[in-house]
Chain A
Amino acid sequence: MIFKKSNIRPSDATESELIAGCLKEDRRFQKELYERYAPKLLAVCCRYCRNREEAQDVLHEGFIKAIKNLHRFESKGSFEGWLRRIMVNAALENIRKNKNLSIVEGIDEAEGQRVESVALENMGAAELMKLVQALPAGFRLVFNLYAIEGFTHKEIAEQMSISVGTSKSQLSRARTALQNMIKETDVEVYNEYAKSH
């Protein structure tokens, strides 16, 4: 049996050609797909996980699911969005498997809070990521889904099998926790500034 390789170079392939190559189970196209999207997808995974290693495991699982279900992708929407959604689902599944999701019931009114911080202005993505990863799993999950992915509380509640109120509570507490961490960072920044002057 001879496997006929595509004449298209994977690195030159368009998104649809890349998908077509992966559907033919061509390893070169699978690798190209991975190389193109893995950095963004790993960042997505990192936001839901405690550390990079766990995120890489989620990326591994998510990528296998994506390749296996590639035939289900309809070219109507964004392929990257479809991949991100798979990664989010893989991350949620990972959290459920590890049973490290602690949901604190109750509603805190933290909506509309505004943050004024010197440190926050100078924070890069890596620092922001560290702050998110430092959140408890429940807070981190709801904050990511709501603030970054753009899910509504209703969608989050359905996804996580919790009430809408709980989702709001988790988000509020996540924001509060983030503000506290940012304040602590501000203090550290002020102290460093005071020492130097």
Chain B
Amino acid sequence: MPNHIDDIFKAGLENYQIDPEPVVWSGLSKSLTSKEGKVILPWYFNPKKTILVALLVSMASFGGGYFYALFNDGTGQNARIESIPVERKVASIPSRPYQLNKGQLAYQQLSDIGSSNEESHPVTSNVSSLSVSEVSSTRRSDNTRPLNQFFNTTSQKSHTSQRSHEPLLFSATPVALLLEKEHELSNPQTIDVEKNISSVLPISELNKALNKRDFKKHFISIGYQRNQTAEGRLSYDFGTNSKQTWSESTEAIDVKFGVNFTKNIGLATGVAVHQDHFTFVNQEYFYPPPGNNAIPSEPISPEFTYGFSRTDLEIPVAVRIQGRNNFIGYHTVTGASLMSQIQSDRTFSSSEPGFNSRDASGLQAVYNPQGRFNLYGSAGVDFYLLKNAGISFDAVLRKRLQATFLRNEFESDDYVLGAQMSAFIKF
């Protein structure tokens, strides 16, 4: 047995264990940082993350709009036309009296007609400017011909008097061809519209028409917007001795109207009514300093809940970049707005009935009654339910340049992320 005093105490106490009282862990669990105990907010309540995401979305949308506008000079429309599936490869030529303006059929069009034909077609007399062999080559073995020939011929005025095989007075209109037309039209045939369609259709004209159709100078939208800027704050230290949490949310109904300068760029303005809700919960705790044997984290005040609401009027001005591809479109809006309070209200409640706020006078000044500027941007997707009307969904990022409410360290001159749903019409 060790009898030296140090050894005795060391042997006796070195591995000694004392179970702590349960209250120690309960106090610790409130003091320790834990993801389980934290007020866990969605990622978009994290200002850094929301700014990053909003920047990426804005850049992508803006870049997409820029390049869409840059390269959308008809190329896209060509692609649209070329991608139209030809459901019926052949079409019947209606059987009706042949109408042809003999002076309008150009010789070069004749040369476009296929030359692989082996079958000859009888030509009887007076072909002034086209040899027999050339005429015979115009007859196609598959009884088809290019559509342009059909378009050009049927669109001309009637000239039925040339049906007799009299000599033509103009060299560019071969009689043999006219005879063939008559033969073909009197006997309904089929034409191949699949071949060489891109060279047949007047694409540039169609593109212009399509561009004109897509471009609407004005638009009006009515939307509902909900913004959420919430922050859970848990302070539990020697300094504050209190736990405070607060949250804020805003709802808005807006009417916007705008003018489009080009198909892709426009200016928007309007008016919005915002309803802001702000809740502040406060409870004081006793946290004893070291050496004090009192139970830590004991609430020493009722829980106060201050509720505030305010109504603001907002007038935005923004640049709008937009694009559309059939039934889906997109838009980005970047601008500024002026917001002004038109009404405010507040409520107070306590966990202890009948307990009045100790800070009633100070709470009156929570809301900033001054006019405030915002910078905002949104990016959204348009769904065209009708030809020029539909609904859109937006992500909205707002930077408040002045605080909407002021109370000690709680100044809401921060970023606010929201979502908006709108109905729009373009005209």
A, B co-complexed: yes
| Chain A positions near chain B (C-beta within 8 angstroms) | 1, 3, 24-28, 30-31, 34, 38-40, 42-43, 46-47, 52-61, 63-64, 67-68, 94, 97-98, 112-116, 120-121, 123-125, 128-129, 131-132, 143, 146-148, 175, 178-179
B6 proximal to A (CB < 8 A):
yes
Mask, B25-53, CB within 8 Å of A = 1, is 10111011111110011110000000000
Do A94 and B3 form a contact, CB below 8 Å, given A124-B12, A132-B9?
no
B35–A39 touching, CB < 8 Å: no
- A-chain residues with CB within 8 Å of residue B15 when the two chains form the complex: 40
**From A1, A3, A57, contact of B43 by CB (8 A):** A1
User: Which of B67-75, B135-143, B290-298 participates in binding chain A?
Assistant: B290-298
Task: Give chain A nearest CB distance to B196 CB in angstroms.
Answer: 58
B34–A25 touching, CB < 8 Å: yes
- A-chain residues with CB within 8 Å of residue B1 when the two chains form the complex: 121
Per the bound structure, the CA–CA distance linking A113 and B288 in Å amounts to: 42
Q: List 9 A-B contacts (CB under 8 A).
A: A27-B32, A30-B34, A39-B20, A42-B18, A56-B20, A60-B24, A128-B12, A147-B5, A148-B13
B55 proximal to A (CB < 8 A):
no
| Chain B positions near chain A (C-beta within 8 angstroms) | 1, 3-6, 8-10, 12-21, 23-25, 27-29, 31-37, 40-43, 288, 290-293, 296
B290–A125 touching, CB < 8 Å: no
Do A26 and B35 form a contact, CB below 8 Å, given A31-B25, A148-B13?
yes
Per the bound structure, the CA–CA distance linking A54 and B291 in Å amounts to: 5
- A-chain residues with CB within 8 Å of residue B18 when the two chains form the complex: 39, 42-43, 46, 52, 55
**From A46, A94, A114, A123, contact of B290 by CB (8 A):** A94
Per the bound structure, the CA–CA distance linking A128 and B16 in Å amounts to: 10
- A-chain residues with CB within 8 Å of residue B12 when the two chains form the complex: 123-125, 128
Q: Interface on chain A toward B: helix, strand, loop, or mixed SS?
A: helix
- B-chain residues with CB within 8 Å of residue A94 when the two chains form the complex: 290-291
Per the bound structure, the CA–CA distance linking A94 and B28 in Å amounts to: 17
A27–B17 touching, CB < 8 Å: no
Do A115 and B293 form a contact, CB below 8 Å, given A27-B34, A31-B29, A129-B16?
no
**From B4, B17, B42, contact of A115 by CB (8 A):** B4
Task: Give chain A nearest CB distance to B20 CB in angstroms.
Answer: 5
A37 nearest in chain B by CB position = B17
Per the bound structure, the CA–CA distance linking A146 and B5 in Å amounts to: 12
B16–A43 touching, CB < 8 Å: yes
Do A57 and B290 form a contact, CB below 8 Å, given A27-B36, A30-B34, A52-B18?
yes
**From B5, B10, B31, B33, contact of A178 by CB (8 A):** B5
Per the bound structure, the CA–CA distance linking A47 and B25 in Å amounts to: 20
A3 nearest in chain B by CB position = B35
Per the bound structure, the CA–CA distance linking A132 and B6 in Å amounts to: 11
- B-chain residues with CB within 8 Å of residue A178 when the two chains form the complex: 5, 9
A97–B34 touching, CB < 8 Å: no
- A-chain residues with CB within 8 Å of residue B20 when the two chains form the complex: 38-39, 42, 56, 59
Per the bound structure, the CA–CA distance linking A107 and B356 in Å amounts to: 64
- B-chain residues with CB within 8 Å of residue A59 when the two chains form the complex: 20, 24
A97–B290 touching, CB < 8 Å: yes
- A-chain residues with CB within 8 Å of residue B43 when the two chains form the complex: 1
Per the bound structure, the CA–CA distance linking A43 and B12 in Å amounts to: 11
Per the bound structure, the CA–CA distance linking A38 and B37 in Å amounts to: 21
A115 nearest in chain B by CB position = B5
B40 nearest in chain A by CB position = A1
B5–A132 touching, CB < 8 Å: no
10 closest Cβ contacts across the A-B interface? A39-B17, A147-B6, A27-B36, A53-B293, A27-B34, A125-B16, A128-B12, A43-B16, A3-B35, A42-B18
- A-chain residues with CB within 8 Å of residue B8 when the two chains form the complex: 115, 120, 128
Per the bound structure, the CA–CA distance linking A34 and B290 in Å amounts to: 20
